[in-house]
Structure 1
């Protein structure tokens, strides 16, 4: 009897232990499920709070503005395409024109130095606003707003960067061009180039140029230094150089500006409509030696503008492709690049990638 009782008790204890173990597992499972439900509820609450918030929550890994400003001179110039004195000059000019006065939704204002750094980075690279957002620790919308603000301000400062030379400067340019190419009375070179854009939704076909891509045109006139003394931008890529010159403000005032001097141009400007432009004669196989010499001299003089356009697109790489940019904003970018070109140009300003001169891309408006 005792043996039987012991066996029954042992079996009962075993069953009880199994029940206790199952109950413990059930408690653990229930507790884990409750914790997961609480965590999921917390995630839903945070997500809803973000969606209902008027400010975007962003996670940034970018470089602090102060670190960028403390880069050594050569590194700073390589990244931002300007020297530190040029940067300080640009900051001062933009401050004088109200770059710090605009705020957004009561947020802390972005310092002028940071705005100019962002602008120079935008002009010198082809990064997206998402990449710029991460680089400068701002939201994408803020990066976009700042770039448009600086572009708009820059375009009100044209006279600070581009102006027509006075009488003494024109005489100096004439002497320099005579030394360069042997032609007398020349004070500048004019031509047009294409800036690639996305097909606009309105009259998009007008922007398809002879090179089979969509573009807007930049007309530039440079002096012997490659310094822009007049620009005109924004016409569709389908427009011919001669038509662009006739439509520009310069054409209405050329007699006052050029006077007894001349400009150099390519064969697009041949004809009685442009008596102030010296252009080469078409080589039909019957050119005289004098004509060939004249064409050669014109070609040597026009190199100045070819190099200026090459340097413009090499240094301010945003001009290489303005996809996803409105036409009005694209025109502001083009003008700003020309202003920066003039601000930076000097005899000692040599491209590190192209020490013998920046090659002009295949963008001629033929």
Structure 2
């Protein structure tokens, strides 16, 4: 009985650590970037763009509004870590329900800014990455690389079995086309994990206007796109054991060029760790988080991952 009362008293004495959340803004540059995955100027730019769209103006039930700056910190903390909303509630002095609602609200606004961060290049802008990729792999006229990536999720309540992929875990697909720097030029997220990459491409918004977008250029793809009637995707020849030396060389070139998209997926999961395992079972929120990670990836593309300056590894990534 005495032990029970002592535990109750101890529980009541636990204090939240986030009452002075402003101290997060006064971290040194290195610590701030390590925790929030953005530099100070990038944080200020993102905050400005979100505040222009109304972040920080609304409040509910007569409570004092949560400052826009705090909401942006919460979003970045959520995307950069795998902490629960309970932990975020303690760290930033908000209730769990408020933390969840703030993240969803800011995600919705951030996704409306997609064209500010992810955009298809015009004719002049395609030339530079095409030259860079030609130097990398020796194939002329390719302006990027395409691939699909599995984002691990919990079993969804609707059509949950459809999200079980060939590797026996539940996932949502992310299709990305990236340039020579690993910057996303086009993204599509949301199809169930069991769907084939080629089928996803055909159903994506990119496919119908591909001739207008690609013009005389192509993108590099893997074996998933072989024989699927995608004239704009340069794929390796299927290895049936009888490839000529020239065909093997071409396959090697394609593989060297495609490394940019593989590195982009590795980096996005390394920097924005929420994508390693999305616990949310609301498909709309899942898709918004994936899109937000891609937008943040492009915003920070010039900054190397501090843990892996030579490129984020994917050896242990079963996605």
Pair 1:355-2:309 in alignment: yes
Shift of 1:61: 2.1
Does the residue aligned with 2:206 lie in a helix, a strand or coil? helix
Pair 1:176-2:109 in alignment: no
Matched-pair contact (CA < 8 Å) for 2:82–2:273: yes
Where does 1:55-94 land on structure 2 (aligned, <5 Å)? 59-62=15-18, 64-94=20-50
Does the residue aligned with 2:176 lie in a helix, a strand or coil? strand
Of the three residues 334, 337, 349, the one matched with 2:290 is 334
Pair 1:110-2:76 in alignment: no
Separation in structure 2 between the aligned mates of residue 74 and residue 266 of structure 1, nearest angstrom: 38
Matched-pair contact (CA < 8 Å) for 2:305–2:311: yes
Of the three residues 163, 188, 193, the one matched with 2:149 is 193
Query: How many residue pairs get matched?
Result: 307
Does the residue aligned with 2:87 lie in a helix, a strand or coil? helix
Indicate the residue corresponding to 1:24 in structure 2. Answer: none
Separation in structure 1 between the aligned mates of residue 307 and residue 230 of structure 2, nearest angstrom: 37
Shift of 1:161: 0.6
Where does 1:121-200 land on structure 2 (aligned, <5 Å)? 121-200=77-156
Separation in structure 2 between the aligned mates of residue 266 and residue 335 of structure 1, nearest angstrom: 23
Where does 1:297-336 land on structure 2 (aligned, <5 Å)? 297-336=253-292
Does the residue aligned with 1:216 lie in a helix, a strand or coil? strand
Of the three residues 237, 254, 278, the one matched with 2:210 is 254
Matched-pair contact (CA < 8 Å) for 2:235–2:254: yes
Shift of 1:198: 0.7
Pair 1:279-2:235 in alignment: yes
Shift of 1:72: 0.5
Separation in structure 1 between the aligned mates of residue 90 and residue 260 of structure 2, nearest angstrom: 39
Q: Name the Cα RMSD after superposition.
A: 1.6
Deviations 1:207-264 (A, max 9, x none): 0000100000000000001000000000000000000000000001100000111000
Where does 1:227-246 land on structure 2 (aligned, <5 Å)? 227-246=183-202
Deviations 1:86-136 (A, max 9, x none): 000000000011112221111101111100001000000011111000000
Does the residue aligned with 2:125 lie in a helix, a strand or coil? helix
Does the residue aligned with 1:250 lie in a helix, a strand or coil? coil
Unaligned runs of at least 5 residues, structure 2: 1-13
Shift of 1:63: 5.9
Indicate the residue corresponding to 1:5 in structure 2. Answer: none
Does the residue aligned with 1:255 lie in a helix, a strand or coil? helix
Unaligned runs of at least 5 residues, structure 1: 1-57
Q: Which has the larger radius of gyration?
A: 1
Does the residue aligned with 2:213 lie in a helix, a strand or coil? helix
Shift of 1:65: 2.4
Shift of 1:59: 4.8
Does the residue aligned with 2:128 lie in a helix, a strand or coil? helix
Matched-pair contact (CA < 8 Å) for 1:224–1:304: yes
Indicate the residue corresponding to 2:5 in structure 1. Answer: none
Q: TM-score, normalised by structure 1?
A: 0.82
Cα 1:362/1:210, change in 2 over 3 Å: farther
Pair 1:219-2:175 in alignment: yes
Deviations 1:134-182 (A, max 9, x none): 0001111111111001101011111011000011111111111111110
